[in-house]
Amino acid sequence: MASKIILLPGDGIGPEIIAPTLELLDAVGTSFDYEEHRFGGASIDAHGTALTDETLAACQAADAVLLAAVGGPKWDTTDPAKPRPEQGLLGLRKGLGLYANLRPVRPLPALYDASPLKREVIEGTDLLVVRELTGGIYFGEKTRTRDSASDVCAYNREEIERIARVAFRAARRKVTSVDKANVIETSRLWREVVRELHAAEFPQVTLEHILVDNAAMQLVSNPSDFDVIVTENMFGDILSDEAATLTGSIGMLPSASLGEPGKPGLFEPVHGSAPDIAGAGIANPLAMFLSAALMLRHGLGLEAEAAAIESAVDRALAQGLRTRDLGGDANTRAATQAVLSNL
Distance in Å from the first CA to the final CA of the chain: 25
Sign of CA dihedral 284, 274, 237, 39: negative
Whether 155 is catalytic:
no
User: What is the DSSP-derived secondary structure letter of residue 137?
Assistant: G
Catalytic residue selected from 138, 155, 179, 325: 138
212: three-class secondary structure by DSSP: helix
What is the DSSP code (8-state) at residue 148? -
Is 241 part of the annotated catalytic residue set? yes
Q: What residues form DSSP beta bridges with 6? A: 35, 65
Known catalytic residue at 325: no
The residues, ordered by sequence, that sit 6+ positions from 242 with a Cβ below 8 Å of its Cβ are: 216, 219, 220
Whole-number Å distance between alpha carbons of 26 and 3: 13
Euclidean distance between CA atoms 161 and 177, whole angstroms: 12
Distance CA 184, CA 204 (A): 29
Catalytic residue among 63, 180, 227, 314: 180
- Concerning whether 174 is annotated as a catalytic residue, the answer is no
Q: Is-catalytic flag, 138?
A: yes
In b/e form, how buried is each residue of 146-178, taking b as 16+ CB within 10 angstroms? eeeeeeebebeeebbeebbbbbbebbeeebbbb
Residue-wise DSSP of 31-47: --EEEE---THHHHHHH
Out of 227, 237, 314, 325, the active site residue is 237
Contact between 320 and 329 (Cβ < 8 Å): no
Active site residues: 138, 180, 213, 237, 241
